[in-house]
Amino acid sequence: MAEAWLIVGLGNPGPKYADTRHNVGYLVIDRILAGQTRVRTEASADGVRYTIAGPGGGELNLLKPLTYMNASGVAVREAAGNLGIPSDRILVVYDCLDLPLGRLRLRRGGSSGGHRGVESVIAELETSGFLRLRVGIGRPDCETIDYVLASWSSTERAVVDRAVDVSAQAAMCVAERGIDAAMNSYNGQTAESESPARESTTGDQT
List, by residue number, the catalytic residues.
22
Contact between residue 182 and residue 170 where contact means Cβ atoms under 8 Å apart: yes
Burial class (CB in 10 A: 0-12, 13-18, 19+), 50: buried
**Beta partners for residue 59, in sequence order:** 53
Work out whether strand 90-96 and strand 5-9 pair parallel, antiparallel, or are unpaired.
parallel
Residue 109: how many CA atoms within 13 Å on its side-chain side?
7
Q: DSSP string covering 118-138, please?
A: HHHHHHHHT-S-SEEEEEE--
Helix spans in the chain (H): 24-33, 72-83, 116-125, 144-148, 157-177, 179-186
Contact between residue 49 and residue 42 where contact means Cβ atoms under 8 Å apart: yes
